[in-house]
Structure 1
Amino acid sequence: MAGHVAREALRARVRAMPWTVRLQLRALEAGVDATQRRDGTINRFLFSLLVDRQAPANPARPDALGVRSVDASTGVRARVYFSSAPTPAETEPSPRPVIVYFHGGGFTYFSAATRPYDALCRTICRETGAVVVSVSYRLAPEHRFPAAYDDGEAALRYLATTGLPAEVPVRADLARCFLAGDSAGANIAHHVAQRWTAAATPPPFRLAGLLLLAAYFGGVDRTESELALEGVAPIVNLRRSDFWWKAFLPEGADRNHPAAHVTGEAGPEAFPPAMVVVGGLDPLQDYGRQYAAMLRRKGREVRVVEFPEAVHAFYFFPVLPDTGKLVAEIKAFVETTAPEPIA
């Protein structure tokens, strides 16, 4: 009885969201389920038709937020967002921080041009003043582990060696380069940061920080939050999660593979400061907290930002107050996180 009461309380919290948000989440779930084939492949044409609306870039003139965007190559396809207008304290634009962003989608869906991601990156660009490089990495199951990590690292090394694409008429301050991502994109950001900090040859610059939103990590053992929110929370459930891991991980690997299971004792020794965002109605929340605890055990600086009433992908919806609060937290992290000097 106690378990039933607890699940009903969780359902009531999910139902407290605006009906328009719940309807859009249902549509997204239906689109995902309709396009996942039994053989582990994805009907991409159907997904693009049902769900994945694309937003065009606007290279010629700023949008209502004062942000321009261009589709360019940074070693891999990316959409780059920037504002060339000086701040009130500037006579001309100064070098901007850089946020390299990796979208979510269970390693299998979406791109930098997907409308919710385009809108989110525009907002982050406006609020932080950063150049946002949103990477369209290769998707599973056509491109399994480690393709997404390889693409993320390639984008970062392109910036290190070449700088911003020629189509972007602003200067970048790579001493203030952050990696960011949500869901599977947060997983990618972690692994790219781990590669960067563990490289045998010292990297050209040190990462200033890591922004992980609703990070998609995993393990063979189910967590309390996964079990408690099964059949209650939108988007992430055990069946879909298992499909995504099977699509991404090497053939025959289970969820204890190092790509998924990053929260054990074996973790990064050198790592940039991290902000970890956790939703209280997200089945992945336990992994987020375990990840933060792992970094603390390694002596790394980490801040956990909790949104108790947030579901997975809440940042898709500007109507939710937590979305505005999240963007404010990202802005504060970018402004206050000082890069570590290279020895």
Structure 2
Amino acid sequence: MPTMPAVSAATGASSPPAAANAVVEDIYGFLRVLGDGTVLRSPEEPAFCPASFPSSHPSVQWKEAVYDKPNNLRVRMYKPSAAGRTREKLPVLVHFHGGGFCLGSCTWANVHAFCLRLAAEAGAVVLSAGYRLAPEHRLPTAVDDGAGFLRWLRDQSSAAADGWLAEAADFGRVFVTGDSAGGNIAHHLAVRAEADADVDVLRPVTVRGYVLLMPFFGGVRRTRSEAKCPAEVLLNLDLFDRFWRLALPPGATRDHPAANPFGPDSPDLGSVHFRAPLLVVVGGLDMMRDRTVDYAQRLAAMGKPVELVEFAGKPHGFYLHEPGSEATGELIGLVSRFLRSCEARAGA
């Protein structure tokens, strides 16, 4: 095990007190929490982020920047090269990575490879934004950082901003996307956008749609797909429960509003306008399949603008494990069509 930097954070665990140096939570060695609250993180990327994943694309330029200096939050920005553009300005895809709110980074090789292909084939500027992780920073910190990133994007539209982004980005055609935990962030940003003040303060940035890729939701009651998930698979129910224990406020259950959109204390989504459409993607083999389908079906029954698409036979996050696959290409094609449909709807 590599040397792991240590920080201090409360675990919120309800189990009996452990020795100060005892490991009370362990996520495959990449994140360990000790009895005194110390958090140990591995600096290495997981095995599913092999160096063989492409680090560049012939028709995409990219660079990295810090968008929140006090918290050292970074964004990787991707744009199709000028020679490959069919329009002067391109739609913007703001993307939030997954990892159960506890792991992940916009710099991981699998996230990077996916965003390269997304920018190239969707014909969009992709902004892959980091956010603070739990348990050092529990929810709703990640959602707050997502909202902060949209304010940073607004600032990039000014004449004094870095022209690298502004020369290609159409700030009036912004879409919020997220994978797993990032999909959860996208949901909460869509709900927050209900407030007129939140919308007005972002202008000229206008969010035209939200893409939830296998969103990470939870609940005390188990769904059928959760209960049937084999314990031996990498992404199993025990792992997701550990993520929630570390990410939610101390003492909260999985019915907390940050986890369960339909929990007893969650906002009434029936009264939320949802100013922009939602595209919800689920995998047929995803442990959270039933929960995600229920989410989309409930919104549809309320008359909300939601589209649900299932990739049969595909597991959670397949597009990150296989960024070069045909199925990932189909997913990007789906996203591209959703972008066009939202633009047509806005222009109607």
TM-score range, shorter chain: 0.7 to 0.9
Q: CA deviation at 1:147?
A: 1.3
For the 8 Å contact 2:172–2:206, the answer to whether it is kept is yes
Note if 1:108 corresponds to 2:102: yes
1:227-264 CA deviation, whole Å, 9 max, x = no partner?
112326x3321211111011111111110000000146
User: Which residue of the partner structure matches residue 229 of structure 1?
Assistant: 229
Instruction: Give me the CA root mean square deviation.
Output: 2.8
Aligned partners of 1:47 and 1:178: how far apart in 2? 31
Tell me which protein shows more helix as a share of its residues. 1
Q: Give the length in aligned residue pairs.
A: 304
3-state DSSP class of the match of 1:132?
strand
1:311 pairs, out of 310, 315, 323, with 315
Change (3 A) 1:337 1:230: same
Aligned 1:42-191 pairs, distance under 5 A: 43-45=40-42, 47-48=44-45, 63-75=56-68, 76-87=73-84, 90=86, 94-163=88-157, 165-168=162-165, 170-191=167-188
Question: Which residue type is aligned with residue 156 of structure 1?
Answer: L
Q: Over residues 5-48 of structure 1, what are the superposed CA-to-partner deviations in whole Å (9 max), with x where a residue is unaligned?
A: xxxxxxxxxxxxxxxxxxxxxxxxxx942334364865322644
The structural deviation recorded for 1:53 is 6.6
Q: Does 1:291 align with 2:307?
A: no
Q: C-alpha distance in 2, partners of 1:222/1:106?
A: 18
Q: TM-score, normalised by structure 2?
A: 0.79
1:215-294 to structure 2, matched below 5 A, reads 215-231=215-231, 234-263=233-262, 266-267=268-269, 269-271=272-274, 272-294=276-298
Distance 1:170 1:106, change over 3 A: same
> Judging changes above 3 Å, is the alpha-carbon distance between structure 1 residues 157 and 52 closer, same or farther for their aligned structure 2 residues?
same
Identity of aligned residues (%): 38
Assess if the C-alpha contact under 8 Å between 1:121 and 1:132 holds in 2: yes
Give the counterpart letter for 2:223 in structure 1. T
Is 1:330–2:323 an aligned residue pair? no
Unaligned runs of 5+ in 2: 1-25
Maintained 8 Å contact 1:235/1:312: no
For residues 189-244 of structure 1, the C-alpha deviation after alignment (integer angstroms, 9 at most, x for no partner) is: 11122222335454324421111111100101111110112326x33212111110
Q: Distance in 2 between matches of 1:155 and 1:54?
A: 29
